[in-house]
Structure 1
Amino acid sequence: MRFKTSVRNIQTFSKLTASLSSLGKVAWVRLDDDNVRFTVIPETGTQVWASLSISSIFEDYTIQSAAPNNTIDLELSLPPLHRALKSALNATSASVRLTKKDGVPVLSFTIITNTISSGNSAGGFLHGTSDDPFGDNAFREERLDANMGRDREAVITQDIPIRVLTAASVEGIHEPRVRDPDAHIILPSLIQLKAISDRFTKLAMATSSGGTRSGLSNAANVPKLELAANMYGSLKLSISTDALNISSVWTGLNNPELDPRQIEDSGGLEEHPSTKLKAAGPDAWSTVRIDGRDWGKVLSVGRLGGRVIACFADEHALILYVYLSNYDDGVDDSVLTYYISSFSV
């Protein structure tokens, strides 16, 4: 079993791990000849299934195993991975390989940085005894580089303990099964959406009975955001408590066209729930209710940029597809898929 690669885009990889670790501390990672997959399945809250093209984060990629497609399945802790990547943000290069240290499997990061070593800035000046400050004894001649900062290469190694998983142990892991969505819409800027969502949640928590003193840290007591979309380019975010009822509406958004080939098993485009919702007019909405704090963590993926499509299964679930740009033309998009269950009324 062998895996070694250079990190092509440290910043993107760091932002990805920061976003994933906000939702769960442990990830299942699948490496193979074609893709890199990260899966986060916390006990409660949003699940993330990320499928990345190799070129989006790696280069000089080498992998070998006895499994089909040279697949290697790993389990790792996300916080130390993110810390290693943060330490490499200003590096000239970073590489990672699968190895063992004291019999324990690890992902070993080798980070190379250039540091500037300062010379002795006063080393070329001597206090002369002559009354003439420009006399022969005032200075001594030296080589130019004696007092200049010089680049020095520093090599840092960070080892992240992992578990190498058997194929049988991950065979039953699969993405949640969700019925066909009633509405699908391209979301506005996630940074803007996060700012408004966080503000709504904080206001609701502050005005709820007893406020934070009553223990709103309990997930059952956290106010729920209501998110709704129609098939006429509108998105609505609202929250309601005994003391507060506020909402914000976006219009002019895009409802992307469905690919008929992808919905043949659902009876075709004419029978698709989104077609029926559109026929019901702009006042027909598909609605989900979500934990405001969890939603804020999901929206942290906005730091990666990319196009985001939200699919609403009314009163059931919200699925986000976050499409990231790839370096190489002709390579399939990297996509992060978020599954968020809806709370009942």
Structure 2
Amino acid sequence: MKFRAVMMDSSPMREFANIVSTISKLSKECILRLSSDQLYFIVSEENNGPAPPILWCEVPQALFFSEYQIVGVDDEHKDIYLGIISANLSKSLVTLKTAKSLKMKLTKKQCPCLTLEIDLPSITMQQSRLVTHDVPVIVIPRKLWTEFHEPRVPRPDISIELPSLKQLRTTIDRMKTMSPEVVLRASAEGRLTLQIKTDLAKVSTRFRDLRVEAFEGPIDHSDSESESQINEDVSRVCYCRVDAKKFSMFLSADNISHNRTICSIVHKKLVTLCLQTEENVKLQCFITGIVY
């Protein structure tokens, strides 16, 4: 197996560092899948057995790297799967914001490593400095590759564009201090409501006039605890109760320069959050609904 890639432009380097930084906040460990046209960052639930990914991030290599070479095990298995500690990779990329270039390659030292060579300008001299980081990785055997495929999710009942992630994060961070769970409620009329309940209070924050990408209604609320505003048709509203901490962690992606974020809800079962950038980076987070 061989891998080598070079990044020369400052803007893609900053964006790449921000993407990895966001992933390191979401999980201690991740899988880095290298293919001929994409880099994938994959995060699964932290448990003892195989679990579907909860985060799936696609980075198109052609828009980030000026050189990109990969050789898999053989012609049939062309990809490379690496287990990596997210924080180690993120810390190694901190200096990319001022770097001239980045070279990444797969090396064999005391253990397999993703070696990063970062060309930095010198403060006192005209010559540049070359900083090398060896980030240990685990090469994932082929028999485990099927555990890291993109999740197949049901068709959502509604997909709605989210407001500012920074504004949402401020709201949810306050809510999660009062309750570990939050209900996301979206209507076909473009309203999004975040709601928590405690023994002492019920707190709701509403956002209006949001773009609805798709609605598959009507929604059956015959056995639900649905609440709606006055004169609102509940058959055009769906909701899902999720872990407030997981939702908040996704919102830390606000440091990635994105053009839109879509929230898709499978009524009472699943919330899929998808952030998209102008460079065609797609970061998806899958949060399973909490059902009582």
- After TM superposition, the score normalised by the length of structure 1 is 0.73
CA-CA distance at 1:198 after TM superposition: 0.7
Q: Which amino acid aligns with 1:61?
A: Y
Match of 2:21 in 1: 18
CA-CA distance at 1:300 after TM superposition: 0.7
- 99 and 320 in structure 1: CA distance in 2 versus 1, 3 angstrom threshold: same
Distance 2:141 2:77 in 1: 15
Q: Secondary structure at the match of 1:344?
A: coil
Measured against aligned partners, the alpha-carbon deviations of 1:32-71 in whole angstroms (never above 9, x if no partner) come to 1111111001326981011221134322111122243731
Match of 2:223 in 1: none
CA-CA distance at 1:179 after TM superposition: 2.5
Which structure 1 residue ranges, 4+ long, deviate > 4 Å from structure 2?
A: none
Match of 1:199 in 2: 174
Q: Which has the higher helix share?
A: 1
Aligned to 1:109, which of 111, 116, 119? 116
Match of 2:213 in 1: 256
1:317–1:340: 8 Å Cα contact kept in structure 2? Answer: yes
CA-CA distance at 1:233 after TM superposition: 0.7
1:310–1:318: 8 Å Cα contact kept in structure 2? Answer: yes
Aligned to 2:216, which of 271, 274, 282? 274
1:182 aligns with 2:157: yes
Match of 2:6 in 1: 6
Q: Which has the higher strand share?
A: 2
Q: Which amino acid aligns with 2:216?
A: S
2:15–2:257: 8 Å Cα contact kept in structure 1? Answer: no
1:99-248 alignment to 2 at 5 Å?
Answer: 99-102=107-110, 104-117=111-124, 150-202=125-177, 204=178, 223-248=180-205
1:2–1:98: 8 Å Cα contact kept in structure 2? Answer: yes
Match of 1:212 in 2: none
- 56 and 301 in structure 1: CA distance in 2 versus 1, 3 angstrom threshold: farther
1:323–1:336: 8 Å Cα contact kept in structure 2? Answer: yes
2:185–2:240: 8 Å Cα contact kept in structure 1? Answer: yes
- State the identity as a percent: 26
- 80 and 255 in structure 1: CA distance in 2 versus 1, 3 angstrom threshold: same
Distance 2:113 2:273 in 1: 32
Larger Rg: 1
- After TM superposition, the score normalised by the length of structure 2 is 0.86
Match of 2:253 in 1: 301
Match of 1:325 in 2: 278
Match of 2:268 in 1: 315
CA-CA distance at 1:249 after TM superposition: 0.8
CA-CA distance at 1:338 after TM superposition: 0.8
Q: Which amino acid aligns with 1:344?
A: V
Match of 2:44 in 1: 41
Q: Secondary structure at the match of 1:154?
A: strand
Measured against aligned partners, the alpha-carbon deviations of 1:313-338 in whole angstroms (never above 9, x if no partner) come to 11111011211212xxxxxx321111
1:23–1:42: 8 Å Cα contact kept in structure 2? Answer: no
Aligned to 1:80, which of 81, 88, 105? 88
Distance 1:79 1:153 in 2: 26
Deviates more, 1:93-102 or 1:6-15: 6-15
Measured against aligned partners, the alpha-carbon deviations of 1:141-185 in whole angstroms (never above 9, x if no partner) come to xxxxxxxxx323211100001112222221243344432211110
Q: Which amino acid aligns with 2:188?
A: M
Q: Which amino acid aligns with 1:295?
A: F
Unaligned runs of at least 5 residues, structure 1: 118-149, 205-221, 258-272, 327-332
2:32–2:81: 8 Å Cα contact kept in structure 1? Answer: yes
CA-CA distance at 1:291 after TM superposition: 1.8
Q: Which amino acid aligns with 2:64?
A: I
